[in-house]
Chain A
C-alpha cells in the first residue's frame, strides 16, 4: 500500500518539476520507478510514456487555445515522428533491458549537460508557462525552411521517445528553432503538441506487449497529472536557473547510478 502512495507522490514530484522546468516527466519517472521501486526497465518506460501523454495533453490544450502551437507544422512532422516512435517501441521489445538502461543513462547525461548551459531557450520556456506572457506574446511571422531535415529529426526524436520513454522535445525544439526558422516559443509549443501523439504511438505497442502495468502506470500517471496541473498554476514565475542546476547534478548522479547498475556495479542502491 505504501508503494502505491509513494508512486502517486513520486509522480506528483516529477510532474511538478517537469512543468516548472519545462521537462517531460520521463527523465525523472523512469529512474524513480526503476531504481527506487524496482520496476523492470520496460515497464518503467511503458509507465513513463503514459505519463508523457498526460503532461503533454494538458499543456498542449493550453498552447493550442492560445495559438502558440503551429498545428499544421506539428501534424506534418507527426507523420515522421509516429513512424519513428513505432520503430522505437518495437526495438525496445527486442534489445535487452540492460542495453536500455545504458542508453537511457546516456540520454540523462545529455539532458543534464544541456540544462547546465544557460540558454535563451530556458528563459523562453519559462515565459511560455506564464499565462501573462501568453496574453502579451507577440509572435513574429516566420517561414518554415528545411522541412526534410525537420522530418528526419522528428523521426529520430520519435525513435528515442519510443525506445526510452521520453517526450523527445530535447531534439525537436532545437531543430525547429535553429534550423527550420520557427520562433522559439512556437517551437516549444509545437513540440509539446506533437509529444502526445508520438508517445501514444509507442505506448500502444508497450500496452500490447503487456509492458504497461496498470498498478504502476496508474498511480504514477495520476500523480504526474496532478503535479503538472498544480505546477503550471503555482510556479509559472519561479526563478528556475538554480533549480535547473540542482536537477542537472541529480540527473548526472542518477545516470551514473543506472549505468553502474546495468554494468553490475552499485554505488548507492
Chain B
C-alpha cells in the first residue's frame, strides 16, 4: 500500500507516461494517414493557425494535418496536466505551500494556454 507521499510521485510519473504515449499514438495515426494521402507540396509555407474548435472538428473529420496538430497539443498539455495533478496531490497531502506553488505555475501556464483556444 502506497503512502500519500509515494502516491504523489506515482500520479505525477503516470500522467507524464500516459500523456507522452497518447500523443505518440495520435501522431502515428495522423502521420500514417498523411503517408497514405501523400505529403502536401510546399509544406514549409506558413499554415494558417486553426482555432481549437476548428482543429477538433477537423480531427473528427479525419483531416491528417489536424490530427497531427492534436497529437502535438496532447504532448504540449502533458506538462500542464502534470502540474495540475501535482497541485491536487499536494492539497490532498495537506502540503499547502507546494499546492499553492503548483497552482501559481498553473496560472502562469494558463496565461499562455488560453489564447490558443481562440
> Interface on A for B, CB 8 Å cutoff?
1, 3-4, 8, 37-40, 43, 50, 53-54, 56-58, 60-62, 64-65, 67, 71-72, 75-76, 78-79, 82-83, 86, 89, 196-197, 199-205, 207-210, 212-219, 221-222, 225-226
A51 to chain B, nearest CB (A): 9
Question: Given A54-B75, A61-B13, A79-B104, does the pair A38, B44 have CB atoms closer than 8 Å?
Answer: yes
Whether B47 lies near A64 (C-beta < 8 A) is no
Question: Given the complex, which residues of A lie within 8 Å of B77, measured CB to CB?
Answer: 200
> Interface on B for A, CB 8 Å cutoff?
8-10, 12-14, 16-17, 19-20, 23-24, 27-28, 30-31, 34-35, 38-40, 43-44, 46-49, 65-66, 68-69, 71-73, 75-80, 82-83, 86, 98, 101-102, 104-105, 108-109, 111-113, 115-116
Whether B20 lies near A213 (C-beta < 8 A) is no
Question: Given the complex, which residues of A lie within 8 Å of B38, measured CB to CB?
Answer: 1
| B89, closest chain A residue (CB) | A71
Q: Out of B9, B73, B104, which one reaches A64, CB within 8 Å?
A: B9
Q: What are some 29 contacts across the A-B interface (CB < 8 A)?
A: A1-B39, A4-B31, A37-B44, A38-B44, A43-B44, A50-B76, A53-B75, A54-B75, A57-B17, A61-B14, A64-B13, A65-B13, A67-B9, A75-B105, A79-B108, A82-B105, A196-B82, A200-B76, A201-B109, A204-B116, A208-B49, A209-B49, A214-B47, A214-B66, A215-B47, A215-B65, A218-B30, A221-B27, A221-B71
| Tally of A-B Cβ pairs under 8 angstroms | 167
Question: Given the complex, which residues of A lie within 8 Å of B16, measured CB to CB?
Answer: 57-58, 60-61, 64, 196
Question: Given the complex, which residues of A lie within 8 Å of B46, measured CB to CB?
Answer: 210, 213
Whether B101 lies near A75 (C-beta < 8 A) is yes
Interface of B is mostly: helix
CA distance A210 to B49 in the complex (A): 5
Q: Out of B35, B83, B115, which one reaches A4, CB within 8 Å?
A: B35
Question: Given the complex, which residues of A lie within 8 Å of B8, measured CB to CB?
Answer: 71
